[in-house]
Amino acid sequence: MTSTALKEPVRETSPGAAREPRRRTGRIRRVSLPYLLLLPALLLELLVHLVPMAIGIVMSFKQLTQFYIRDWGTAPWNGFDNYKVSVDFDAPVGKALLQSFGITVGFTLLSVGLCWLIGTAAAVYMQGTFRGRGLLRALFLVPYALPVYAAVITWVFMFQHDNGLVNHVLHDQLHLTDKPSFWLIGDNSFYALLTVSVWKGWPFAFLIVTAGLQNIPRELYEAAALDGAGMWQQIRRITLPSLRPVNQVLILVLFLWTFNDFNTPYVLFGKAAPEAADLISVHIYQSSFVAWNFGTGSAMSVLLLLFLLVVTGGYLLLTSRGRKASHA
Amino acid sequence: MRDLSLAPPRTSPMAPPRSFVWSRRVFLTLLAGFVLLPVYVMISSSLKPLADVTGKFRWLPSELTIRPYIDIWSTVPLAKYFMNSLIVAGAATVCSVVIAVFAAYAVSRYDFRGKRVFTVTVLSTQMLPGILFLLPLFLIYVNIGNATGIALFGSRGGLILTYLTFSLPFSIWMLIGYFDSVPRDLDEAALVDGCGPFGALFRIVVPAAIPGIVAVAVYAFMTAWGEVLFASVMTNDNTRTLAVGLQGYSTLYDVYWNQIMAASLVVSVPVVAGFLLLQRYLVAGLTAGAVK
């Protein structure tokens, strides 16, 4: 006790004075080091995300057709023409974009809602202990782990008109339809896309909600049980409200991923998506790479970005305020 | 153990009522069926002769054959696509993990100007639609190629570069969480002992955060292995990856569904096996951020 008290001031003064010049170079390194460590990540983000984004915005003001692709800098400026074309809802291009946008919004809301519902229900049910739980958990993660194209191509096979499983079951075995339906063209394609999207998306909700459940203190349940609350009441009064902060992030992430999803519709339908399932990503891809009009495609992308920014900002503002209010 | 489960105390929250147990049974059975259906179709169809998959759907193969598993390698150059995917995903994973480790270390251990701006910017690139920078990136790569002769467009290098930035934001985010959970005293002690910051990082922080690094690696590999959009635009015959190559099984006359299913299974096995083996780490990493 006494010896440490004696030593303390000695250690404080002598090495400190001796280290003075070294400390300054140390400070310079300390200041620049974090930036050095961040540099590779920063450069890559700039090259692949931020610069392209800026170029995309520039491109959206240019008349960029296939004639100028070799040297895009020479493409003539055309002001807001690309935007005017994109949002002129009376003309075919704008009309198609608006329709694609509406379909994407509807599809996203349905898909996110179902993914969240199934994921939450599964997570709550999987909380207890019962036989086969571990196996079931591994099985539930398979859709998430499978490469998108392998999973979706299997669904393409199942949705085939002549040799698919879906028509075999619905028509041949259950006799629910008069004749085999087309699933990958026409109006049905919307439901086909929704099914695949939910199949692929719900395990992520399941994962996140499961983790959220583990953070709810056991005492809450025990106290509720002592007060006579049944299982269902506990779920409604404790589990679901406690999941709010987790849900705030989960639903936003699901929304953005589903809204921007390109892989699923692209593998499901190929380059030409049916009108009923014409999601915005594929639509923009088609307008740019198939119609070879990069200017209009860029303008559409920028509009999409603006929409996502507004929705995300509004969502965060709204849900955070709600959270604060409920805390107060 | 058995005695306890036979007579659970009445007030315990662990004793669910009958209605709950039954609804759980029904729900989880239905859900398992929904999840399993495509998996079953994939496996069973991959063992069928071609006639079984061109005619009406059959639940069971008329005869079991491993023929599709032999034919997939010659119908399309699957081995080449496999190698391409392996090289691209492997390189993207290694680079992404290394870069993410440095960035996460900086954010976790240092205070510096622009820290918040950096994390928010990096994370928000995750929410951008891929289609938004597909066109400009395509042009950038073509122009870099024209100007310097470095072929990024159509090459594996361009794809590696692109994919590694896809997994980077999430990897950095996950690793920040993991590094934060490694006690600072440990690496500060190492710094005092004369290790440089890199010594502290590689001798103390990284070994303590191995689960997180494994998780990030699995995530980065899965991201690169499954990507379709950029693969379909930015590859040519020589650099084609599995995501695009699998479409080669449909010819003008026939779609070899049995081979497609066999090939899908073959390309899925590495990632699914890896994921299920390492899921504990990945799940912890994926969820750490959301729960925090």
pLDDT digits 0-9 by tens, B116-127: 888 888 878 877
Phi and psi of A63, rounded to 5°?
-90, 85
Phi and psi of B39, rounded to 5°?
-65, -45
Burial label for B7, CB within 10 Å (0-12, 13-18, 19+), is exposed
What is the C-alpha radius of gyration for chain B, rounded to an integer number of angstroms? 24
Domain endpoint, select from B67, B86, B108:
B67
Q: What integer pLDDT is reported at residue A325 of this predicted model?
A: 55
pLDDT digits 0-9 by tens, B26-72: 999 999 999 999 999 999 999 999 888 888 898 999 989 999 999 99
- The answer to whether B241 contacts chain A (CB < 8 Å) is no
| Average pLDDT for A305-318 | 90
Question: At residue B15, does pLDDT exceed 80?
Answer: no
Domain endpoint, select from B67, B101, B124:
B67
- Judgement on whether residues B116 and B17 belong to the same structural domain of the protein: no
Q: What does the mean pLDDT of chain A come to?
A: 83
Question: Do the Cβ atoms of B129 and A301 come within 8 Å?
Answer: yes
**What is the 3-state composition of chain A as percent helix, strand, coil, each rounded to the nearest 5?**
80, 0, 20
pLDDT digits 0-9 by tens, B211-239: 889 888 988 999 899 898 889 888 888 88
- Judgement on whether residues B226 and B84 belong to the same structural domain of the protein: yes
Taking each helix axis from N to C end, the angle separating B78-109 and A2-45, rounded to the nearest 10 degrees, works out to 140
Pick the residue of B62, B132, B195, B250 with the most A CBs within 10 A to test the interface with A by mutation. B132
What percent of chain A is predicted at pLDDT more than 90?
A: 30
DSSP letter (8 states) at residue B22 = H
- Judgement on whether residues B113 and B258 belong to the same structural domain of the protein: yes
Q: How many domains does chain B have?
A: 2
Question: Do the Cβ atoms of A145 and B275 come within 8 Å?
Answer: yes
- Judgement on whether residues B6 and B104 belong to the same structural domain of the protein: no
pLDDT digits 0-9 by tens, A129-144: 888 888 999 999 999 9
User: What single letter denotes the amino acid at residue B229?
Assistant: L
- Judgement on whether residues B82 and B12 belong to the same structural domain of the protein: no
**Residue-range definition of the domain harbouring residue B60:** 2-67
Look at B10 and B243; give whichever has higher pLDDT: B243
CA B144 from centre of chain: 29
- List, in order, residues 6 or more apart from B12 with CB less than 8 Å away: A225
Q: What integer pLDDT is reported at residue A20 of this predicted model?
A: 46
| Average pLDDT for A298-310 | 90
- Judgement on whether residues B63 and B75 belong to the same structural domain of the protein: no
- Judgement on whether residues B137 and B29 belong to the same structural domain of the protein: no
DSSP letter (8 states) at residue A76 = P
| Average pLDDT for B159-179 | 89
* Lowest-pLDDT range of A240-244, B8-12, B64-68, B94-98: B8-12
Query: In chain B, positions 77-106, which contact chain A (CB-CB < 8 Å)?
Result: 99-100, 102-103, 105-106
By the 8 A CB rule, do B76 and B147 touch? Answer: no
| Average pLDDT for B201-219 | 87
Question: At B178, which CATH number?
Answer: 1.10.3720.10
CA nearest B292: which of A288, A57, A211?
A211
Question: At residue B160, does pLDDT exceed 90?
Answer: yes
Q: What integer pLDDT is reported at residue B103 of this predicted model?
A: 93
CA nearest A161: which of A171, A148, A150?
A171
- Judgement on whether residues B10 and B125 belong to the same structural domain of the protein: no
By the 8 A CB rule, do B219 and B285 touch? Answer: yes
User: What single letter denotes the amino acid at residue B169?
Assistant: P
CA-to-CA separations, A13 to A25, A32, A158, B33, B191, in angstroms, rounded:
20, 28, 78, 72, 20
Look at A73 and B274; give whichever has higher pLDDT: B274
Residue of B nearest to A248 (CA): B290
Q: What does the mean pLDDT of chain B come to?
A: 84
The strand pairing partners of B250, in sequence order, are B255
By the 8 A CB rule, do B160 and B91 touch? Answer: yes
- Band (A8; pLDDT cuts 50, 70, 90): very low
Max avg pLDDT among A9-23, A91-105, A224-238: A91-105
- Judgement on whether residues B42 and B156 belong to the same structural domain of the protein: no
Could you state, in order of their start, the residue ranges of all structural domains in chain A?
A: 98-327
- Domain A98-327: give its CATH architecture: Orthogonal Bundle (1.10)
- The answer to whether B45 contacts chain A (CB < 8 Å) is yes
Residue of B nearest to A115 (CA): B31
CA nearest B80: which of B238, B236, B228?
B238
- Judgement on whether residues B37 and B90 belong to the same structural domain of the protein: no
Question: At residue A291, does pLDDT exceed 70?
Answer: yes
| Average pLDDT for A193-212 | 93
CB contacts < 8 Å between A and B, how many? 285
Q: What integer pLDDT is reported at residue A322 of this predicted model?
A: 62
Question: At residue A235, does pLDDT exceed 70?
Answer: yes
What is the C-alpha radius of gyration for chain A, rounded to an integer number of angstroms? 28
pLDDT digits 0-9 by tens, A168-179: 999 888 888 888
Q: What integer pLDDT is reported at residue B8 of this predicted model?
A: 40
- Judgement on whether residues B47 and B117 belong to the same structural domain of the protein: no
Question: Do the Cβ atoms of B24 and A125 come within 8 Å?
Answer: yes
Q: What integer pLDDT is reported at residue A28 of this predicted model?
A: 56
Question: At residue A116, does pLDDT exceed 90?
Answer: yes
Q: What integer pLDDT is reported at residue B78 of this predicted model?
A: 92
- The answer to whether B17 contacts chain A (CB < 8 Å) is yes
DSSP letter (8 states) at residue B204 = I
Domain endpoint, select from B20, B47, B67:
B67
Query: In chain A, positions 198-217, which contact chain B (CB-CB < 8 Å)?
Result: 199, 207-208, 210-212, 215
Question: At residue A196, does pLDDT exceed 50?
Answer: yes
Look at B265 and B210; give whichever has higher pLDDT: B265
Question: At residue A13, does pLDDT exceed 50?
Answer: no
- Band (A69; pLDDT cuts 50, 70, 90): low
Look at A233 and B87; give whichever has higher pLDDT: B87
Question: At residue B114, does pLDDT exceed 90?
Answer: no
The two structure tokens encoding residue B230: 């950029």
Q: What integer pLDDT is reported at residue A92 of this predicted model?
A: 84
If one counts every other C-beta atom within 10 angstroms of the C-beta of residue B27, the result is 15
Q: How far apart are CA B212 and CA B283, in angstroms?
A: 10
- Band (A201; pLDDT cuts 50, 70, 90): very high
Q: What integer pLDDT is reported at residue A12 of this predicted model?
A: 40
User: Mind giving me the DSSP string for B273-289?
Assistant: HHHHHHHHHHHHHHHHH
DSSP letter (8 states) at residue B262 = H
- Judgement on whether residues B40 and B79 belong to the same structural domain of the protein: no
Q: How far is A145 from chain B (nearest CA, A)?
A: 5
Nearest 5°: the CA angle A283, A285, A291 is 90
Question: At residue B10, does pLDDT exceed 90?
Answer: no
CA nearest A109: which of A120, A101, A98, A99?
A101
Q: What integer pLDDT is reported at residue B205 of this predicted model?
A: 87
Q: What integer pLDDT is reported at residue A97 of this predicted model?
A: 92
| Dihedral sign computed on CA atoms, order A24, A29, A30, A31 | positive
Question: At residue A14, does pLDDT exceed 70?
Answer: no
User: Mind giving me the DSSP string for A292-315?
Assistant: -BHHHHHHHHHHHHHHHHHHHHHH
Q: How far is A97 from chain B (nearest CA, A)?
A: 15
| Average pLDDT for A264-279 | 88
Q: How far apart are CA B253 and CA B107, in angstroms?
A: 56
Q: What integer pLDDT is reported at residue A19 of this predicted model?
A: 46
Q: How far apart are CA A124 and CA A234, in angstroms?
A: 11
What percent of chain B is predicted at pLDDT more than 90?
A: 34
What percent of chain B is predicted at pLDDT more than 70?
A: 90
Pick the residue of B41, B78, B109, B128 with the most A CBs within 10 A to test the interface with A by mutation. B128
Residue of A nearest to B265 (CA): A150
